[in-house]
Structure 1
Protein backbone atom coordinates (compact mmCIF):
# COMPACT_ATOMS: atom_id res chain seq x y z
CA UNK A 1 0.00 0.00 0.00
CA UNK A 2 1.33 3.43 -0.92
CA UNK A 3 0.87 6.62 1.02
CA UNK A 4 -1.09 8.06 -1.91
CA UNK A 5 1.06 11.17 -2.28
CA UNK A 6 0.80 11.47 -6.03
CA UNK A 7 2.79 14.19 -7.82
CA UNK A 8 -0.44 16.16 -8.29
CA UNK A 9 -1.24 15.90 -4.57
CA UNK A 10 2.22 17.29 -3.79
CA UNK A 11 1.75 20.17 -6.26
CA UNK A 12 -1.55 21.06 -4.59
CA UNK A 13 0.08 20.86 -1.17
CA UNK A 14 2.88 23.21 -2.25
CA UNK A 15 0.24 25.62 -3.60
CA UNK A 16 -1.58 25.45 -0.24
CA UNK A 17 1.60 26.30 1.65
CA UNK A 18 2.32 29.18 -0.73
CA UNK A 19 -1.24 30.42 -0.22
CA UNK A 20 -0.89 30.28 3.55
CA UNK A 21 2.50 31.98 3.68
CA UNK A 22 1.59 34.58 1.07
CA UNK A 23 -1.72 35.64 2.58
CA UNK A 24 -0.60 35.56 6.17
CA UNK A 25 2.49 37.62 5.42
CA UNK A 26 0.21 40.43 4.28
CA UNK A 27 -2.28 39.78 7.08
CA UNK A 28 0.53 40.15 9.62
CA UNK A 29 1.60 43.42 8.03
CA UNK A 30 -2.00 44.71 8.09
CA UNK A 31 -2.34 43.74 11.75
CA UNK A 32 1.00 45.31 12.70
CA UNK A 33 0.02 48.53 10.94
CA UNK A 34 -3.43 48.41 12.61
CA UNK A 35 -5.17 48.62 9.27
CA UNK A 36 -8.93 48.27 8.93
CA UNK A 37 -8.72 44.98 7.04
CA UNK A 38 -12.42 44.65 6.15
CA UNK A 39 -12.78 48.35 5.45
CA UNK A 40 -9.80 48.26 3.10
CA UNK A 41 -11.33 45.35 1.17
CA UNK A 42 -14.55 47.20 0.38
CA UNK A 43 -13.57 50.86 0.26
CA UNK A 44 -10.12 51.09 -1.31
CA UNK A 45 -11.45 51.75 -4.79
CA UNK A 46 -12.96 49.84 -7.67
CA UNK A 47 -9.91 47.67 -8.39
CA UNK A 48 -9.75 46.29 -4.86
CA UNK A 49 -13.53 45.86 -4.76
CA UNK A 50 -13.35 43.97 -8.06
CA UNK A 51 -10.69 41.61 -6.73
CA UNK A 52 -12.63 41.16 -3.48
CA UNK A 53 -15.81 40.28 -5.37
CA UNK A 54 -13.89 37.97 -7.70
CA UNK A 55 -12.31 36.05 -4.83
CA UNK A 56 -15.53 35.92 -2.84
CA UNK A 57 -17.43 34.36 -5.74
CA UNK A 58 -14.62 31.84 -6.33
CA UNK A 59 -14.55 30.99 -2.60
CA UNK A 60 -18.31 30.38 -2.54
CA UNK A 61 -18.17 28.21 -5.68
CA UNK A 62 -15.12 26.36 -4.31
CA UNK A 63 -16.88 25.78 -1.00
CA UNK A 64 -19.85 24.25 -2.80
CA UNK A 65 -17.43 22.02 -4.73
CA UNK A 66 -15.68 20.99 -1.51
CA UNK A 67 -18.96 19.88 0.06
CA UNK A 68 -20.38 18.16 -3.02
CA UNK A 69 -17.20 16.37 -4.07
CA UNK A 70 -16.32 15.38 -0.50
CA UNK A 71 -19.71 13.75 -0.13
CA UNK A 72 -19.32 11.95 -3.46
CA UNK A 73 -15.89 10.60 -2.51
CA UNK A 74 -16.71 9.85 1.12
CA UNK A 75 -14.23 12.42 2.45
CA UNK A 76 -15.00 13.48 6.00
CA UNK A 77 -14.71 16.92 7.60
CA UNK A 78 -15.39 18.97 4.46
CA UNK A 79 -16.75 21.69 6.72
CA UNK A 80 -13.31 22.08 8.32
CA UNK A 81 -11.81 23.35 5.06
CA UNK A 82 -14.54 25.98 4.75
CA UNK A 83 -14.29 27.10 8.37
CA UNK A 84 -10.51 27.01 8.08
CA UNK A 85 -10.64 29.37 5.13
CA UNK A 86 -12.20 32.02 7.37
CA UNK A 87 -9.38 31.55 9.88
CA UNK A 88 -6.51 31.32 7.37
CA UNK A 89 -7.28 31.89 3.69
CA UNK A 90 -9.13 30.13 0.90
CA UNK A 91 -5.81 30.30 -0.99
CA UNK A 92 -4.60 27.80 1.63
CA UNK A 93 -7.61 25.60 2.33
CA UNK A 94 -8.77 25.03 -1.26
CA UNK A 95 -5.45 23.67 -2.58
CA UNK A 96 -5.08 21.72 0.68
CA UNK A 97 -8.47 20.12 0.03
CA UNK A 98 -7.45 19.45 -3.59
CA UNK A 99 -4.35 17.66 -2.28
CA UNK A 100 -6.41 15.54 0.12
CA UNK A 101 -8.91 14.86 -2.68
CA UNK A 102 -6.11 13.64 -4.94
CA UNK A 103 -4.88 11.35 -2.17
CA UNK A 104 -8.42 9.99 -1.74
CA UNK A 105 -8.72 9.35 -5.49
CA UNK A 106 -5.33 7.57 -5.51
CA UNK A 107 -6.48 5.44 -2.57
CA UNK A 108 -9.69 4.56 -4.38
CA UNK A 109 -7.76 3.67 -7.56
CA UNK A 110 -5.42 1.42 -5.57
CA UNK A 111 -8.32 -0.27 -3.82
CA UNK A 112 -10.05 -0.87 -7.17
CA UNK A 113 -6.87 -2.36 -8.67
CA UNK A 114 -6.45 -4.66 -5.64
CA UNK A 115 -9.98 -6.00 -6.21
CA UNK A 116 -9.27 -6.58 -9.92
CA UNK A 117 -6.17 -8.67 -9.22
Structure 2
Protein backbone atom coordinates (compact mmCIF):
# COMPACT_ATOMS: atom_id res chain seq x y z
CA UNK A 1 0.00 0.00 0.00
CA UNK A 2 2.89 2.36 0.77
CA UNK A 3 4.22 1.94 -2.79
CA UNK A 4 0.79 2.80 -4.19
CA UNK A 5 0.74 6.08 -2.29
CA UNK A 6 4.41 6.82 -2.88
CA UNK A 7 5.13 10.29 -4.26
CA UNK A 8 1.50 11.50 -4.04
CA UNK A 9 1.82 15.04 -2.70
CA UNK A 10 -1.14 17.27 -1.83
CA UNK A 11 -0.52 19.12 -5.12
CA UNK A 12 -0.58 15.93 -7.20
CA UNK A 13 -3.78 14.81 -5.43
CA UNK A 14 -5.37 18.21 -6.14
CA UNK A 15 -4.50 17.83 -9.84
CA UNK A 16 -5.90 14.29 -9.82
CA UNK A 17 -9.18 15.49 -8.28
CA UNK A 18 -9.42 18.23 -10.93
CA UNK A 19 -8.77 15.62 -13.59
CA UNK A 20 -11.62 13.44 -12.35
CA UNK A 21 -13.93 16.47 -12.16
CA UNK A 22 -12.94 17.39 -15.72
CA UNK A 23 -13.75 13.90 -16.97
CA UNK A 24 -17.08 13.59 -15.17
CA UNK A 25 -18.14 17.16 -15.94
CA UNK A 26 -17.39 17.06 -19.65
CA UNK A 27 -18.70 13.57 -20.25
CA UNK A 28 -21.94 14.29 -18.43
CA UNK A 29 -22.69 16.92 -21.07
CA UNK A 30 -21.29 14.76 -23.87
CA UNK A 31 -23.76 12.01 -22.94
CA UNK A 32 -26.60 14.56 -22.93
CA UNK A 33 -25.53 15.70 -26.41
CA UNK A 34 -25.40 12.12 -27.69
CA UNK A 35 -28.76 11.16 -26.19
CA UNK A 36 -30.40 14.30 -27.58
CA UNK A 37 -28.63 13.77 -30.94
CA UNK A 38 -27.26 17.30 -30.86
CA UNK A 39 -24.87 18.53 -33.56
CA UNK A 40 -21.94 18.86 -31.14
CA UNK A 41 -19.50 20.59 -33.51
CA UNK A 42 -22.23 22.77 -34.97
CA UNK A 43 -23.20 23.97 -31.51
CA UNK A 44 -19.61 24.95 -30.79
CA UNK A 45 -19.44 27.41 -33.68
CA UNK A 46 -23.03 28.47 -34.30
CA UNK A 47 -24.62 28.93 -30.90
CA UNK A 48 -23.75 32.60 -30.74
CA UNK A 49 -20.73 34.79 -30.10
CA UNK A 50 -20.38 33.83 -26.43
CA UNK A 51 -20.14 30.11 -27.17
CA UNK A 52 -17.79 30.78 -30.07
CA UNK A 53 -15.61 32.93 -27.80
CA UNK A 54 -15.40 30.18 -25.20
CA UNK A 55 -14.67 27.62 -27.94
CA UNK A 56 -11.76 29.65 -29.32
CA UNK A 57 -10.52 30.38 -25.79
CA UNK A 58 -10.47 26.70 -24.83
CA UNK A 59 -9.04 25.60 -28.17
CA UNK A 60 -6.07 27.97 -27.80
CA UNK A 61 -5.51 26.82 -24.21
CA UNK A 62 -5.70 23.17 -25.30
CA UNK A 63 -3.13 23.71 -28.07
CA UNK A 64 -0.78 25.59 -25.72
CA UNK A 65 -1.29 22.93 -23.04
CA UNK A 66 -0.61 20.15 -25.53
CA UNK A 67 2.67 21.78 -26.52
CA UNK A 68 3.52 22.10 -22.82
CA UNK A 69 2.73 18.42 -22.23
CA UNK A 70 5.01 17.34 -25.07
CA UNK A 71 7.91 19.64 -24.13
CA UNK A 72 7.67 19.21 -20.36
CA UNK A 73 7.08 15.48 -20.66
CA UNK A 74 10.31 15.14 -22.59
CA UNK A 75 12.14 17.47 -20.18
CA UNK A 76 11.00 15.40 -17.18
CA UNK A 77 11.76 12.08 -18.88
CA UNK A 78 8.11 11.02 -18.86
CA UNK A 79 7.61 8.18 -21.32
CA UNK A 80 4.60 8.32 -23.63
CA UNK A 81 3.59 11.90 -22.68
CA UNK A 82 2.10 12.21 -26.17
CA UNK A 83 -0.67 9.85 -25.04
CA UNK A 84 -2.14 12.64 -22.89
CA UNK A 85 -2.58 14.74 -26.04
CA UNK A 86 -4.11 11.84 -27.99
CA UNK A 87 -6.41 10.87 -25.12
CA UNK A 88 -7.64 14.46 -24.83
CA UNK A 89 -9.33 13.98 -28.20
CA UNK A 90 -11.10 10.88 -26.91
CA UNK A 91 -11.96 12.13 -23.43
CA UNK A 92 -11.42 15.82 -22.66
CA UNK A 93 -8.48 18.16 -22.20
CA UNK A 94 -10.08 19.06 -18.85
CA UNK A 95 -9.28 15.46 -17.88
CA UNK A 96 -5.90 14.81 -19.49
CA UNK A 97 -4.14 18.09 -18.65
CA UNK A 98 -4.68 17.91 -14.87
CA UNK A 99 -3.87 14.18 -15.06
CA UNK A 100 -0.58 15.04 -16.78
CA UNK A 101 0.14 17.66 -14.10
CA UNK A 102 -0.54 15.08 -11.35
CA UNK A 103 1.79 12.54 -12.95
CA UNK A 104 4.41 15.25 -13.57
CA UNK A 105 4.28 16.22 -9.90
CA UNK A 106 4.71 12.58 -8.88
CA UNK A 107 7.68 12.25 -11.25
CA UNK A 108 9.28 15.40 -9.83
CA UNK A 109 8.68 14.24 -6.25
CA UNK A 110 10.23 10.86 -7.05
CA UNK A 111 13.25 12.52 -8.62
CA UNK A 112 13.73 14.79 -5.57
CA UNK A 113 13.41 11.78 -3.29
CA UNK A 114 15.99 9.82 -5.31
CA UNK A 115 18.44 12.75 -5.18
CA UNK A 116 17.93 13.07 -1.42
CA UNK A 117 18.61 9.37 -0.90
CA UNK A 118 21.72 9.35 -3.11
Fold conserved (TM > 0.5)?
yes
Residue 103 (1) aligns with residue 106 (2): yes
Q: What TM-score, normalized to structure 1?
A: 0.96
Matched residue, 1:62 = 65
- Which of 40, 45, 58 in structure 2 is aligned with 1:42? 45
Greater shift after overlay, 61-70 or 1-10? 1-10
Q: What TM-score, normalized to structure 2?
A: 0.95
Structure 2 Cα separation of the partners of residues 94 and 21 of structure 1: 14
Matched residue, 1:21 = 24
- For the aligned residue pairs, the C-alpha RMSD in angstroms reads 1.0
Stretches of structure 1 lacking an aligned partner (at least 5 in a row): none
**Structure 1 ranges of 4+ moved more than 4 A:** none
- Which of 68, 75, 78 in structure 2 is aligned with 1:75? 78
Stretches of structure 2 lacking an aligned partner (at least 5 in a row): none
Residue 85 (1) aligns with residue 85 (2): no
